[in-house]
Amino acid sequence: MKYRPGDDGKSFLPKMGRLDKNSLCFCVLGDLDELNAQIGVVSNKSGHEQLDEIQKTLMEISSQLATGESHLTEEDLLCLEKWTEEKEQNLPPLNNFIVPSTRPEVHLARAICRRTERNVIGWMEQPTPEPFDFVKFNLVVPYLNRLGAYLFALARQLAQRDVNWISRKSRATANVV
């Protein structure tokens, strides 16, 4: 493998040619890589087989965005929805924001997922060279959105307790520390 071609701050994508490494498409691919690595951390700690499947799907998404081909399906979305609903079944209802102090490695994955989702949206709003067609990627944002919800439910399930956040104003009014 040759590394020197990237020394000029550019890298190559099959459907887009040589681009600056700080372009939004490489930021998105980097976000997906970071998200996948963080999910790997969570998987190693929790041993959830679902996370292995999610990692494989994230690799597919990264590969597809890099090559301009998409194979993400509605089935991928439905699977995440089902897993999220299963996790939420035994959780108490949320009445407040929660502090991400219990199972922070999962909350970090969720935060990376949300950043990735925002950057994918930003990238899709930019003009891209032909023949790259984002219409084929209409399921990427919904997948990342559902993945964020799944990770939130997983963090709550693994923590087995929520640390509720109450604003300073509310605490002062209620004399709560």
| DSSP notation for 28-88 | HHHHHHHHHHHHHHHHHHH--HHHHHHHHHHHHHHHHHHHT-----HHHHHHHHHHHHHHH
Q: Which residues contact 38 (CB under 8 A, 6 or more apart)?
A: 105, 108, 109, 112
Q: Does residue 175 have a pLDDT over 90?
A: no
Q: Please classify residue 138 by burial: count the beta carbons closer than 10 Å to its beta carbon, then call 0-12 exposed, 13-18 middle and 19+ buried.
A: exposed
Residue 65's nearest CA partner among 23, 109, 8, 10 is 23
Q: What is the largest CA-CA distance in the chain?
A: 63
- Tell me the pLDDT tens digit for each residue of 1-21: 566 776 777 777 766 677 767
Q: Please classify residue 7 by burial: count the beta carbons closer than 10 Å to its beta carbon, then call 0-12 exposed, 13-18 middle and 19+ buried.
A: exposed
Instruction: Quote the pLDDT of residue 53.
Output: 95
CA of 44: how far to CAs of 38, 51, 174, in Å?
Answer: 10, 10, 41
Confidence label for 177 from pLDDT (cuts 50, 70 and 90): low
Confidence label for 156 from pLDDT (cuts 50, 70 and 90): confident
Question: If you ran DSSP here, which 8-state letter would residue 163 be given?
Answer: -
* C-beta of residue 156 within 8 angstroms of C-beta of residue 98: yes
Instruction: Quote the pLDDT of residue 98.
Output: 77
Query: What are the structure tokens assigned to 70, written together?
Result: 């998409």
